[in-house]
């Protein structure tokens, strides 16, 4: 009888422990969180909730806005490449690359300079390339190497925020600010990670007529078609997805940070292109968009507030598209290359007439 009671007690304890563990796992992996999410389509709000397009218009016209900005990225540029976009022979640039690079990635930056980031790739198309960096405050030797790199190449835009993954929103918005301050004389701007393969030739073809790419020969508009100067283009690989609610995820987002069941449409941050008009609107929209640590999501929020709909193009690959020389004919961007792979593939594609 005593043994039976002990077994029953032990069984009760085990069942209790299993139940507690199961409940903990369900909570940890967000199984219950979804019941408390708000529906994205029903009265979506994200601070600031007022008439942001009107505020954008006021700021663009150098007027005093009705509401003061709620978000600012007031970091100091340690290196600003102020003369980068000044060119007496080509006062109007076609394309500026802004590459979000990690401090230690010297080899990646070298590979990009020697491949798709080469500014004189096409003699008749003025292009500029800069690398966006933060700082590691306690590493004097690393900072000296960065300063030496800037002295040698003149393409490092560095600001005094801590260079870590979840500061990519800051890095991006400092890139926007650098453009506003120093480089507004380009029609298009392309942001990229430093492990991307990019075909400048295909970027330029895409920017001629995004809706017809890659079948430009079949376009009814003709080869001399040019997007109007006031076009508001924000394009790349567009996602509509749900927040990660399981705590094990690198991209875990609690309800307190974002309560809706879906994100607004957003462009993956590995590579995307903006027209000047879209960039200007989104820069001022960011002043009325509460900071968010995931940069691609943040730009999706900024674009939504500005009334700009991201344009999807499947030739911006957020993963590494399996490579062969023909499969990359129309690829604009592909993710996840080491420096040696990048240079080799870019040279092959250049020889094939695809880069």
- On whether both 260 and 197 belong to a single domain, the answer is yes
In a domain, 41, yes or no: no
* Residue-wise pLDDT tens digits, 42-88: 789 999 999 999 999 999 999 999 999 999 999 999 999 999 999 87
What average pLDDT does range 197-212 have in this prediction? 96
In a domain, 47, yes or no: no
- On whether both 1 and 117 belong to a single domain, the answer is no
22, burial (CB in 10 Å: exposed 0-12, middle 13-18, buried 19+): exposed
In a domain, 113, yes or no: yes
- On whether both 124 and 266 belong to a single domain, the answer is yes
- On whether both 20 and 106 belong to a single domain, the answer is no
In a domain, 42, yes or no: no
In a domain, 38, yes or no: no
Q: In terms of Cα–Cα distance, which of 211, 158, 203, 190 is closest to 276?
A: 190
- On whether both 13 and 129 belong to a single domain, the answer is no
Q: Compute CA distances 336 → 60, 194, 271, 282, 341, whole Å.
A: 37, 9, 12, 27, 10
DSSP β-bridge partners for residue 272: 191, 236
Please spell the DSSP secondary structure of 304-344, one letter per residue.
HHHT---EE-TTEESS-PPP-TTTTSS-SEEE---HHHHHH
State yes or no: pLDDT of 20 exceeds 50. Answer: yes
* Residue-wise pLDDT tens digits, 122-145: 999 999 999 999 999 999 999 999
- On whether both 11 and 103 belong to a single domain, the answer is no
Q: What per-residue confidence (pLDDT) applies to 5?
A: 65
- On whether both 131 and 167 belong to a single domain, the answer is yes
Q: CB neighbours of 10 closer than 8 A, spacing ≥ 6?
A: none
What average pLDDT does range 218-239 have in this prediction? 82
State yes or no: pLDDT of 23 exceeds 60. Answer: no
Q: What per-residue confidence (pLDDT) applies to 222?
A: 53
What average pLDDT does range 176-180 have in this prediction? 99
The range of the structural domain enclosing residue 25 comes to 1-32
Q: How many domains in the chain?
A: 2
State yes or no: pLDDT of 218 exceeds 70. Answer: no
In a domain, 314, yes or no: yes
pLDDT-derived band at 18, boundaries 50, 70, 90: low
Q: What per-residue confidence (pLDDT) applies to 89?
A: 80
- On whether both 211 and 333 belong to a single domain, the answer is yes
- On whether both 299 and 210 belong to a single domain, the answer is yes
CATH at 178 = 3.90.550.50
CA atoms within 13 A on the CB side of 12: 6
Give yes or no for a contact between 221 and 5, defined as CB atoms under 8 angstroms apart: no
* Residue-wise pLDDT tens digits, 283-312: 999 999 999 999 999 999 999 999 999 999
- On whether both 15 and 64 belong to a single domain, the answer is no
Q: What per-residue confidence (pLDDT) applies to 251?
A: 86
pLDDT-derived band at 220, boundaries 50, 70, 90: very low
User: What pTM does this model have?
Assistant: 0.90
- On whether both 117 and 182 belong to a single domain, the answer is yes
Q: What per-residue confidence (pLDDT) applies to 226?
A: 87
Crossing angle of helices 52-60/295-306, nearest 10°?
90
Dihedral over Cα of 71, 77, 78, 80: its sign: positive
* Residue-wise pLDDT tens digits, 56-65: 999 999 999 9
In a domain, 45, yes or no: no
In a domain, 243, yes or no: yes
* Distance in angstroms (rounded) separating the CA atoms of residues 118 and 275: 21
- On whether both 170 and 256 belong to a single domain, the answer is yes
State yes or no: pLDDT of 314 exceeds 90. Answer: yes
């Amino acid at each position: 009888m005593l043994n039976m009671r002990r077994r029953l007690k032990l069984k009760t304890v085990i069942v209790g422990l299993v139940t507690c563990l199961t409940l903990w796992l369900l909570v940890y992996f967000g199984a219950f969180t979804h019941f408390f999410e708000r529906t994205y389509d029903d009265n979506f709000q994200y601070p600031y909730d007022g008439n942001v397009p009107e505020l954008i218009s006021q700021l663009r016209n150098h007027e005093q806005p009705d509401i003061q900005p709620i978000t600012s990225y007031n970091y100091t540029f340690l290196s600003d490449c102020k003369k980068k976009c000044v060119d007496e022979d080509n006062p109007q640039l076609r394309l500026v690359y802004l590459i979000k690079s990690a401090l230690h990635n010297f080899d990646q930056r070298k590979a990009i300079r020697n491949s798709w980031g080469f500014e004189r790739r096409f003699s008749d198309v003025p292009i500029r390339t800069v690398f966006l960096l933060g700082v590691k405050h306690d590493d004097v030797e690393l900072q000296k190497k960065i300063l030496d790199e800037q002295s040698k190449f003149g393409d490092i835009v560095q600001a005094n925020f801590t260079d870590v993954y979840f500061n990519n929103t800051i890095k991006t918005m400092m890139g926007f600010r650098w453009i506003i301050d120093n480089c507004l004389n380009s029609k298009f701007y392309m942001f990229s990670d430093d492990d991307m393969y990019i075909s400048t030739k295909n970027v330029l073809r895409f920017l001629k007529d995004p809706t017809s790419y890659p079948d430009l020969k079949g376009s009814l508009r003709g080869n001399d078609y040019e997007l109007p100067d006031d076009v508001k283009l924000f394009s790349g690989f567009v996602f509509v997805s749900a927040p990660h609610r399981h705590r094990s995820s690198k991209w875990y987002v609690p309800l307190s940070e974002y309560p809706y069941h879906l994100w607004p449409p957003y462009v993956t941050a590995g590579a995307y292109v903006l027209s000047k008009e879209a960039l200007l609107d989104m820069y001022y929209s960011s002043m009325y968009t509460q900071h968010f640590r995931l940069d691609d999501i943040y730009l999706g929020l900024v674009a939504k507030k500005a009334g700009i709909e991201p344009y999807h193009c499947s030739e911006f690959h957020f993963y590494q598209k399996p490579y062969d020389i023909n499969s990359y004919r129309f690829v604009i961007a592909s993710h996840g290359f080491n420096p040696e792979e990048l240079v080799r593939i870019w040279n092959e594609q250049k020889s094939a007439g695809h880069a």
